[in-house]
Structures are given as C-alpha cells and as structure tokens.
C-alpha cells in the first residue's frame, strides 16, 4: 500500500498560478507577444527559465543573454510583490484538512515544487510544519516533466516511487509522476489533466475515504 504523499505547490496548495499569470502576461506584452490563459496553462509547473524560453519561442523572438536574465529577474520581482501579500487565507479550500489528517495518521508528506520561491510561500501561509521534506526548484537540475523533483522527494522520505501519491495541477507534473510510476492525482480542470490516475476539482472533494482509495490503488 501507499505510504507517502507528495504535494505540488502552485495550483495545488495555493493559487499562485494567478500571480505567475499576471507577471508573465506583463512581461510578454512588453515584448509585443500575446499571452492568454491558454498559453499560461502550458507554463504551469514549468521552471522559470523554461517558461521564458517558451514565451520567446511563441513570439518568434531572440534576445541577448543579458536581456533574458534581466527579464527573469523583473518577472520574479513582480511575482514576489504579489506573494508577499499572501496569508493563511490564500490556502486553497480543503488543503489544511487533508494535511492535518495525513499528519495525525503519521503519513509521510513532502513538497515537490518547481518553484525557487517555495519555502517563502509556505512560510507566508504558515504551512511549513506539515512537510517532512521540501524539494523545490533550488534542488533539482531537471525540470518537470522530468520526474527528478518527485524522485528526490521519495528518496528523502525513504519510499519507493510506486508507494507515492502525487497531487499536481499541471500537465508537466502529471507526466512526471506517471513517468516515475507514482499514483498521479490531478487537481483542477479535468480536461487539462487527462493522463492523471485520478481527478478532483480541488481538495474540498477529497475526504478520508478518498485518501484510503488512493492508498489502495494499484497502477
Ligand atoms: C511553479 C509554477 C510555474 C513556475 C515555477 C517556477 O511550479 O507552476 O508556473 O514557473 O514553479 O517558479 P519560480 O519562478 O517561483 O521559481 P509548481 O511546481 O509549484 O507548480
Ligand atoms: Mg503546480
């Protein structure tokens, strides 16, 4: 049976996806590249560097390395200005209940995020203590859909990938979990996450019974 749970951060625990969207949209528009929700969907779970590369590709633009770095810094600055206004209220519905249930029942829990700002965000919303381990964008060299971030989480938790359950809101993240043969749970719009083993609109739909179903699931 399953022993460990790995949570993505953006779009699963907190809705920082909307902040990434605002900051990327402003950046893209400053380069005369159009940017809608549809493009944003493809950036979910994708690292900062890869995201900017994708935007430039969509706009058929090449820029100097210097400009590239300054755009990334500017995007992050704007993003953090939104993040720094976050509080407990920004935790998505049902997340705290699930984390409390997992903790009370001594399940292992890790964070597996592409974000280099993951620790800052967890601090802001007061969720640090729920995680036995945190793996974020500072610790991985291969971005999602590569499973490195989740495999590191399993290593730290001391469980086999097949005994891990991953909660993800992004196509790249579901792909990563599936590649590593973990149980993949899509959070959010099902049509975006067709490859997931399970799909839920959000954690409000997840109760103790659901958790047991996930634990007993064999891929
Ligand atoms: C997140 C977001 C991505 C973002 C990436 C890097 O991943 O989904 O949109 O580009 O992290 O974030 P940062 O710029 O803060 O390092 P996740 O894996 O938590 O969904
Ligand atoms: Mg995400």
- pLDDT tens-digit series, residues 124-172: 999 999 999 999 999 999 989 999 999 999 999 999 999 999 999 999 9
Task: Note the ligand closest to the C-alpha atom of 188.
Answer: 2
Sheet strand arrangement including 164-168: 133-135, 108-112, 4-7, 164-168, 183-187, 198-200
Residue 2 has pLDDT above 90, yes or no: no
What six digits make up the tokens of 59?
Answer: 């706009």
Nearest CA residue ID for atom 2, ligand 1: 45
What's the confidence (pLDDT) of residue 1?
63
What six digits make up the tokens of 12?
Answer: 């699963």
pTM beyond 0.95 = no
Nearest CA residue ID for atom 6, ligand 1: 115
CB of 152 within 6 A of ligand 1: the answer is: no
**2, 215 in Cβ contact below 8 A?**
yes
CB of 48 within 6 A of ligand 1: the answer is: yes
Active site residues: 8, 10
What's the confidence (pLDDT) of residue 192?
78
DSSP assigned state of 11: T
- In this structure, of 4-8, 25-29, 169-173, 203-207, the range with the lowest mean pLDDT score is 169-173
**92, 202 in Cβ contact below 8 A?**
yes
CB of 40 within 6 A of ligand 1: the answer is: no
Distance in angstroms (rounded) separating the CA atoms of residues 210 and 102:
12
Distance in angstroms (rounded) separating the CA atoms of residues 136 and 140:
7
């Amino acid at each position: 049976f399953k022993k460990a749970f790995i949570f993505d951060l953006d779009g699963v625990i907190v809705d920082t996806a909307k902040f990434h969207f605002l900051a990327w949209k402003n950046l893209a528009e400053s380069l005369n590249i159009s940017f809608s929700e549809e493009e944003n969907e493809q950036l979910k779970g994708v690292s900062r560097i890869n995201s900017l590369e994708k935007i430039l590709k969509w706009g058929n633009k090449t820029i100097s390395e210097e400009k590239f770095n300054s755009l990334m810094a500017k995007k992050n600055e704007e993003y953090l200005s939104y993040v720094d206004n976050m509080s407990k209220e920004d935790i998505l519905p049902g997340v705290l209940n699930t984390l409390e249930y997992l903790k009370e029942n001594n399940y292992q829990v890790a964070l597996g995020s592409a974000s280099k700002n993951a620790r800052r965000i967890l601090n802001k919303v007061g969720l640090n203590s729920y995680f036995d381990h945190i793996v974020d964008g500072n610790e991985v060299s291969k971005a999602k859909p590569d499973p490195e971030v989740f495999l590191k989480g399993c290593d730290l938790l001391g469980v086999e990938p097949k005994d891990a359950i991953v909660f993800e809101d992004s196509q790249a993240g579901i792909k990563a979990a599936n590649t590593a043969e973990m149980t993949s749970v899509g959070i959010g719009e099902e049509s975006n996450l067709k490859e997931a083993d399970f799909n839920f609109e959000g954690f409000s739909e997840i109760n103790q019974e659901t958790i047991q179903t996930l634990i007993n699931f064999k891929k």
